[in-house]
């Protein structure tokens, strides 16, 4: 909404790890009008449970390259309650869908130079 009047400008979105919704990926479920999953399909690379929080390291799954060869800069960090992590029965290698609940968008100032 804050950049609604901006067009054709490169932008970046920042989402805090605790502002990501993490669900199991179910092929064919939760698709948009174009047949694509709503959110980012990612593979759970590592999970660290510290007290009441589970920190997840996720690698986006690209149709053209396996998750294990992904660019390290594309790593997604998410935080969910440890109880949710246990209830979901997540293990490394699971395929998940990550959807931002809230994002902050920044315009690329260098693009206008």
Indicate whether 1 belongs to any domain: no
What is this structure's pTM?
Answer: 0.72
Beta bridge partners of 50: 53
Indicate whether 5 belongs to any domain: no
The number of folded domains in the chain is 1
Q: What is the per-residue pLDDT across 50-90, written as a single tens digit (0 to 9) for each?
A: 999 999 999 998 754 555 555 666 889 999 999 999 999 99
Range ranked top by mean pLDDT from 17-21, 26-30, 31-35: 17-21
DSSP assignment letter at 3: T
Choose among 84, 103, 96, 79: nearest CA to 17. 79
Choose among 53, 66, 52, 54: nearest CA to 91. 54
Which residues constitute the domain of residue 102?
Answer: 17-112
Indicate whether 55 belongs to any domain: yes
In percent, how much of the chain has pLDDT > 70?
73
The confidence score (pLDDT) of residue 106 equals 77
Indicate whether 7 belongs to any domain: no
Residue with more model confidence, 111 or 58: 58
Q: Report the CATH number at residue 62.
A: 2.40.50.100
**93-102 mean pLDDT:** 91
């Amino acid at each position: 909404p804050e950049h609604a009047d901006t067009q054709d400008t490169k932008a970046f979105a920042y989402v805090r790890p605790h502002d990501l919704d993490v669900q199991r990926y179910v092929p064919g479920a939760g698709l948009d009008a174009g047949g694509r999953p709503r959110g980012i399909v990612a593979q759970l690379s590592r999970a660290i449970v510290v007290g009441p929080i589970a920190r997840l390291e996720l690698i986006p799954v690209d149709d053209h390259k396996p998750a294990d060869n992904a660019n390290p800069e594309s790593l997604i960090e998410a935080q969910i309650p440890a109880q949710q992590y246990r209830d979901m029965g997540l293990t490394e290698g699971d395929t998940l869908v990550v959807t931002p609940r809230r994002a902050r968008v920044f315009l690329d100032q260098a693009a206008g130079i």
